[in-house]
């Protein structure tokens, strides 16, 4: 009940106030504070990881050993983030039986990324930021490949956080299709994307 009321407040607020901070309602501000706290925590973690990498590189240079381990580790992370390497770890398997539209999968993926998803695959295709998911009638295409129900979305990340996000998506989908969410302690995403060379873009600003 409260949730529904809050949603209405959010939507109404959106219609009624400007987006400058001074004119925002307190609920929006409270939500913003929560997200800023979360984001700052993430940025702090990123800083700590970079400091660690910096130390490893400095150590290598000081000892004259040219330790390549730190560079190799960075390369591995970047390749995994780009979807070029298989990954495994805890996560969720979300099985959807029935027809869904492209935006429903995109919304689910967006919610899962918000909840810290680190890798995802749908019916045998790795999903990264540049992976288009397009409806063709009642069928779906992932990066140009047709996929059909049951849709199995596998996601690596903190299962607890992912599950909250998945539940939200499921609650809207479950009115039409069957959705099963299963936690996995070690889920493998073996699918990778092919690197896309730049044709039109050039380095530099």
Partner 1 sequence: MRVRVPLVVSVCLATFLVSALAAAQFRSQPLPPSNRVARNEALRTSVNDLEAENRHLRDRVGSLQAAIRQLEDQSAQRSSAAQRLTDLVAGQKVTVGLVPLHGPGLTISLHDGRNPNDPADRSLGWIVHYQDLQDIVNLLWATGAEAITINQQRVVPTTSFFYAGVNILINNANRLSSPYLITALGDPPSLIAGLNDPNQLTELKSRSRNYDLGLSWRRGSRLTTPAYDATFVLKNAQPTS
Residue number, 96 or 169, with CB nearest to partner 1: 169
Nearer to partner 1, 147 or 157 (CB): 157
Contact 198, 130 (CB under 8 A): no
In the complex, minimum distance from the CB of residue 94 to partner 1, in angstroms, rounded to a whole number: 15
* Rounded Cα distance, 165 and 114, in Å: 8
CB of 172 to partner 1, least distance (A): 4
- Measured from the CB of residue 152, what is the shortest distance to partner 1 in angstroms? 18
Q: Phi/psi at 23 (nearest 5 deg)?
A: -100, 5
Q: How far apart are CA 148 and CA 129, in angstroms?
A: 21
Contacts of 13 (CB under 8 A, 6+ apart): 24, 25, 27, 28
- Per-residue burial over 163-198, b if 16 or more Cβ lie within 10 Å, else e, is bebbeebbeebeeebebebeebeebebebbbeeeee
- Say how far residue 61 (Cα) sits from the centre of its chain: 36
Least distance in Å: CB of 71 to partner 1?
4
Q: Residue 6 or residue 148: which is nearer to partner 1 going by CB?
A: 6
Residue 54 CB, shortest distance to partner 1, in Å, is 5
Output 49 or 139, the one with its CB closest to partner 1. 49
Judged by CB, which is closer to partner 1: 174, or 180? 174
């Amino acid at each position: 009940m409260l949730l529904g009321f809050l949603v209405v407040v959010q939507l109404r607020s959106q219609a009624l106030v400007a987006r400058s901070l001074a004119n925002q309602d307190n609920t929006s501000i409270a939500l913003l504070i929560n997200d800023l706290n979360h984001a700052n925590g993430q940025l702090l973690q990123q800083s700590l990881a970079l400091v660690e990498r910096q130390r490893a590189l400095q150590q290598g240079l000081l000892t004259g050993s040219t330790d390549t381990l730190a560079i190799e580790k960075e390369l591995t992370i970047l390749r995994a983030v780009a979807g070029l390497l298989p990954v495994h770890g805890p996560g969720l398997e979300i099985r959807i039986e029935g027809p869904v539209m492209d935006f429903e999968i995109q919304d689910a993926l967006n919610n899962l990324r918000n909840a810290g998803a680190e890798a995802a695959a749908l019916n045998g295709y790795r999903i990264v930021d540049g992976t288009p998911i397009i409806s063709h009638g009642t069928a779906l295409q992932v990066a140009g490949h047709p996929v059909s129900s049951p849709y199995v979305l596998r996601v690596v990340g903190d299962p607890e956080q992912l599950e909250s996000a998945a539940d939200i998506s499921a609650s809207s989908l479950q009115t039409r299709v069957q959705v099963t969410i299963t936690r996995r302690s070690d889920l493998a995403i073996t699918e990778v994307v092919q690197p896309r060379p730049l044709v039109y873009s050039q380095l530099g600003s």
